Amino acid sequence: MLVLLAFHKYRLNMTKLLEHKHIIIRAEANNPPKDETFAINSLANLIERIDMKLLMGPFAKYVEMEGNRGLTVAAIIETSHIVLHSWDETTPAIIQLDVYTCGAFDPNTVFEWLQQFDIGKVDWKYIDREHGLQELDYTPPARPLPTHNYTTTEIVEAMDSILSR
């Protein structure tokens, strides 16, 4: 009986952890990602910043096909996935970002991370997928956040730190 009560309590706690939040972003970018290695490291940084557990990836591939030229980077996280597509033939470039997780995360962190690509116009939907597709009220930061151009040394040190864990 004690084992059943402990299991029931565990299931209740697990149910509370699942939130099914999904943010979909379309952004115009003046400095879109083009380098596969940079994109992999950058998405790994986002996953760490939103406190998610990486299961596979990130994987990135730059496509040279005319009319569809750009980068795709994807990762499987313990609670779902994160995918970024960019098309850089236009000015500004277009970024589509999809962050879906069953865990809690702060959408502001995603918008702050996105600023590294010198974002202009942004459209988004923040959805609760728990019981249907309920759009959530959310307003990202009103003004552009400061960006930081990382040096090669800073990137290498950050990757060494991540890989040493």
pLDDT computed for residue 149 by the predictor: 60
What's the domain range around 139?
Answer: 17-163
d(CA 38, CA 141): 25
User: Does residue 84 belong to any structural domain of this protein?
Assistant: yes
User: Does residue 11 belong to any structural domain of this protein?
Assistant: no
d(CA 119, CA 24): 15
User: Does residue 117 belong to any structural domain of this protein?
Assistant: yes
pLDDT over 70 for what percent of the chain? Answer: 79
Q: pLDDT grade, residue 132 (50/70/90)?
A: confident
pLDDT computed for residue 16 by the predictor: 54
In CATH, what number is assigned to the domain containing residue 102? Answer: 3.60.90.10
User: pLDDT by residue (tens digit) across 54-83?
Assistant: 999 999 999 999 999 999 999 999 989 999
Q: Is the pLDDT of residue 3 over 60?
A: no
Global pTM? 0.71
User: Does residue 77 belong to any structural domain of this protein?
Assistant: yes
d(CA 124, CA 77): 21
Helix ranges restricted to H, the chain: 2-17, 36-49, 107-114, 152-163
Q: How many domains, in total, are found in the chain?
A: 1
Q: Which of 8-12, 104-108, 112-116 has the highest mean pLDDT?
A: 112-116
Q: Average of pLDDT values for 105-123?
A: 93
User: Does residue 8 belong to any structural domain of this protein?
Assistant: no
User: Does residue 4 belong to any structural domain of this protein?
Assistant: no
Residue 104 or 99, more confident: 99
User: Does residue 6 belong to any structural domain of this protein?
Assistant: no
d(CA 145, CA 79): 28
User: pLDDT by residue (tens digit) across 116-127?
Assistant: 999 999 998 888
pLDDT computed for residue 65 by the predictor: 95
Burial of 13 (0-12, 13-18, 19+ CB in 10 A): exposed
